[in-house]
Chain A
C-alpha cells in the first residue's frame, strides 16, 4: 500500500511540476547553473569557456533532458536546433536563448573493415552529388525545417542489394534523425542512407545503438556506417569520417512561460494514448518483453547446464581445470555486466555476424554459469564430508554418491540463492540496449523518445519486469518444492510396499 502511494506521488509530481518564468537571456547568465548535454556529442565544448563555473550533466537520450529541465535537475540543455523544433511541438513551455551556442557539422563514420575505402569514396561522392543537386537541402527541409512527427515517412525498401548488405548504426531514439515510427525505423539519417544504398546497390540493415556506442562499434568494424557523428579533432584522429552531410545550429533550451492548456486528466489521457495506442506502440512493448524473456530464459538454461558441467569437471580435482575455472570466475564476476557484453559484442564476436540478442545470451549464460558454479560449490561444501564418506563406505560409487546423496541435499541449500540469481539476471538484462538489442528497457527508451512522456513507459516497463520476475521465481519455487524430500507424503515414500501390520 505504501509503495502504491509512493508511485502515485511520483505520477502526479511529474505533470504537476510548476514552470517558472525564465531568468536567462544570454549564455553567460547560465554560468554556475547546471546544463544538460547528450553524452558523446561534445556540444559542451562550444560554450565551456563562456560558462566556466557550470557543471554539465550528461544524458544518454535527448528527451531525458526535457524531463531533467522540467523537473529542475538542470537549468538548460544543449541540443541541435532541429531536435528542439520537434521537442517544442510536444512541449510548448520550452524556449531557447537567442544566441546559438555554436554550429555543428554532422558526418558519417565509416567502419574499420574491408569495405571501408570503397564505402568512404562512394559516400563522399554521394554527399557531394547531393549537395550539388539539392537533395540534402530537400531532405533538410522535409525532415528538419518542416518536420511532421506523425506523417513524415521515408522509403526503407526497394533495394537492389547487388553489392551486398551494409550495417548502419543509428541512435533510434533521436527525432528527427532516427526514430521508430509505426514500428519502422525512420528519420533524416535513415532516409539519407536508404537513398545512398539505392544509388549504390546496397541493402542497409539498421541497428539502434546508444550514441556513445556508435563510434566505438563502428571503429571496431562491427558496423559499416555510423550516423550523425559530430566533427571534432579527436574523432578525426581515430575514426574515418565522411564529408559533412548537414549543418545545424546548437541551441540552449530553457523553460519559457507557455503552459499547456490541457487539464491534468486530459494530459494523462493523451499521454496514455500516445504511449500505447498511437502507431500500435503496445506491440513494441510486447516484442521487447519477448526479447527480455528469450534472453533470460535461454541464459538461465544454458548457464545452469554449463555451470553444472564445469562444476562436475572441477569436482574431479583436476588442478588445471580448476585454475582455468577460477580465473574465469574471477574475470567474469569482477566485470560490470555492460562491459562484459560490450567486450563480447565488439571484440570477441566483433567480426562474426552473431546478433546482439545472441551475444547477450552468451554473456548472460557465462555470468549465470559462474554463479551456478559458485552456488554448487557453496551448496556441496555445506554438506558435511561425513555424508560423502558414509555413502562411499556403503559402496556407492563416486557419481552415485554425488547424485543420490550430496546433490539433493546441496540443492536445498543453493536453490533459494538460485532464485535470487534469476531475479538478478532478469534485471541485469536491461543493459542489453547497449549492444543494439531491442529489449524491454530499450523499447521503453525508444517510446519515450517519441512521445516525450516518461510516466507510462517507465511504469509499464517496471510492471512488466515485476511480472517476468514473478513468473520465473514461481517456476524455480515449484522446482524447489518438488525436490524437497521433506514435503513428500508417507504414501509416496513407501510406494509399492506392502506395509506390515
Chain B
C-alpha cells in the first residue's frame, strides 16, 4: 500500500507541477492517470519512486516514509518497477542481459535463475527469439515489451508506467497495450500515465483526472468517462471524442467555430478539404435554413465527430420545429456537395429526446469512395 500525503513539487524554474496531491494506492489497484499535458501526471509518477524528489509532503510505502532522509531508496526501488516512455533499455547489453543483469546484481540471483526467469518473461511478451539482439535492432514496440519484461523480472510490488505508448508508432501501440492488459488481469498493482483514453478505460479500476497540479476528480472508469462531475473533466473527456455546439441565436459566431474546427482537424489529421465541406454544409443547413425558419429563439445542437478507424467525419444536427429537407436547398454548391459519392446524408425523426429535439440530420464525409 502506498499513501501519498500533501505531495508538492516546485521545480527550479518555479513551475509547480504538483500542488497538493493526496491519494492512497491499494494493493491490486490498476490506476490510470489522465489529464491534459503539463499537469503533473508524469511528475507524480516519478515522485512515487523518488526519481524526482518532492519538495514537501510524504510518500509512505508499507509504513515507511520514503521521502525521509536516510531511507534506503535502492531497496524501495527494487520493489517498484518503472516503465519509461522512451524504453531506456541498456544499449550496450543484449536483450537477455538487459533482463538478467539487474536480477544478478540487485537481487543476488544466480545466472541460471536469472536466465530462466528472463526466458520465461521473454516468452510471455512474445520475444523469445530476440535473446541476442541489441535494443537498437528492435522496433519501439518490441523494446517497450522488453522493458516491461525487465521490470517484471525484478518481481516488483507495483509497476509505474510513464506514458508507455506515447513514443510508439500507432501500429505498435496495440502490442504493448495487450501486454499491459495481460498484467492488469493478473492482479498486479499498477499505475499508468496515459493519453490513450480507450486503453485507460479498459484496463483500470480507478481513474485519476489531474489538472493544474491537483487530482481534480477520481473514480471508476465508468464514473470518469461517462458521468464526469467536474466541468473541466467533462470538457476534457468530450473534447477528445467530438466537438459540440449549441446554437441559440442567429448571431452565432461561425468564425470561432471554423477556427476550432481547423484546430480539431489538425489534431486528428483531417484534411482541410473535408473540413471546408463540413463548414459549408453547416452554414447551409443551420444558418441559412433551420435558424431563419424557426419561430422565436432557435435551439440547434451540432455535434462533429471523427472516427479515426473508419476515417469518417460526421456532423449531426439536432433541431426543433419545422422539418428541413436538405434537397430543398437552393444553393447549387451545397447540392453538388450532397451529390458527391463521398458524402452520405440521412434525416431522422427523434422521439422522446432528453433535450427535446425533434429532428436529426446526419452527414458523413468520407475521404474516398469505397471500392
Contacts and interface: CB of A to CB of B under 8 A. Distances in A.
Interface of A: 383-384, 386-387, 389-397, 400, 404-405, 408-409, 412, 485-486, 490, 493-500
Contacts of B88: 384, 386-387, 389-390
A404 B82 contact: no
Q: Which of B75, B86, B151 has the most CB of A within 10 A?
A: B86
Contact of B91 (A387, A495, A500): A387
A395 B84 contact: no
B78 A395 contact: yes
Q: Which of A392, A393, A495 has the most CB of B within 10 A?
A: A393
Contact of A412 (B81, B92, B93, B94): B92
Interface string B67-90: 000000011011011101011111
Contacts of A384: 86, 88
Nearest to B120: A500
B207 to A, nearest CB: 24
B110 to A, nearest CB: 9
Interface string B131-150: 01010000000000001001
28 contacts: A383-B91, A384-B88, A386-B86, A387-B90, A389-B51, A390-B90, A391-B90, A392-B51, A393-B77, A393-B82, A394-B77, A394-B78, A394-B106, A395-B77, A395-B102, A395-B106, A395-B154, A396-B74, A396-B105, A405-B92, A408-B92, A409-B90, A486-B92, A490-B132, A494-B96, A497-B112, A497-B115, A499-B115
A393 B51 contact: yes
B105 A409 contact: no
B190 to A, nearest CB: 15
A186 B246 CA distance: 108
Interface of B: 49, 51, 74-75, 77-78, 80-82, 84, 86-94, 96-97, 101-102, 105-106, 111-112, 115-116, 119, 132, 134, 147, 150-151, 154
A493 B102 contact: no
Nearest to B98: A390
Contact of B84 (A386, A408, A412): A386
B62 to A, nearest CB: 16
A393 B77 CA distance: 6
B294 to A, nearest CB: 59
A493 B94 contact: yes
A493 B134 contact: no
Given A387-B90, A391-B90, A394-B78, A500 B119 contact: yes
B105 A400 contact: yes
Given A386-B87, A393-B51, A393-B82, 20 more contacts: A383-B91, A386-B88, A389-B51, A393-B77, A393-B84, A394-B82, A394-B151, A395-B154, A396-B105, A400-B105, A404-B105, A405-B90, A409-B91, A485-B92, A493-B96, A494-B96, A494-B115, A496-B112, A497-B111, A497-B112
A496 B111 CA distance: 8
A392 to B, nearest CB: 6
B74 A404 contact: no
A498 B112 contact: yes
Nearest to A398: B74
* Nearest 9 interchain pairs by C-beta: A390-B88, A395-B78, A386-B88, A393-B82, A395-B77, A485-B92, A497-B115, A394-B102, A395-B106
